Amino acid sequence: MQVHYENIGNTLIVKLRGELDHHVAEKIRVELDEMISNKRSKNLIFDLKEMNFMDSSGIGVIIGRYKNIHKLGGKVAVVQASNKVDKIFSLAGLYRIVSKFETSEDALKCI
């Protein structure tokens, strides 16, 4: 799993590449929490264009970051999810708490 972080205003964009599974979930969780805290990010965008798999641990990472961001009054969005990852988000009900957009630019305009 490779992760790239980018801050735009009060929004943290997280680009994930590879598999978000139980092998890397804790590391990603800790890094995200540190980035959100250090950069004082209010909103969070997950760019999943290059993520090809996510298991229940990955779902936990998304839900946990949603809870943290929601407490700050912010929003969480996902962009460019592959068909496989999009199906996981749908089946897990993540789109009830996380907004879906085609691009990061679209998400930045709406969150």
Per-residue pLDDT of the chain (111 residues; tens, 9 = 90+): 999 999 999 999 999 999 999 999 999 999 999 999 998 999 999 999 999 999 999 999 999 999 999 999 999 999 999 999 999 999 999 999 999 999 999 999 998
Give the chain's length: 111
* Structure confidence at residue 109 (pLDDT): 96
- Give the closest residue to 58 by CA, choosing from 86, 29, 36, 33: 29
**Residue 54: inside a domain:** yes
CATH of residue 90's domain is: 3.30.750.24
Residues 64, 70: contact at Cβ < 8 Å? Answer: no
Looking at residue 57, what is its pLDDT? 97
Domain count, the chain: 1
Question: pTM surpassing 0.85?
Answer: yes
Q: Is residue 111 part of a domain?
A: no
Q: What are phi and psi of 48, to 5 degrees?
A: -110, 20
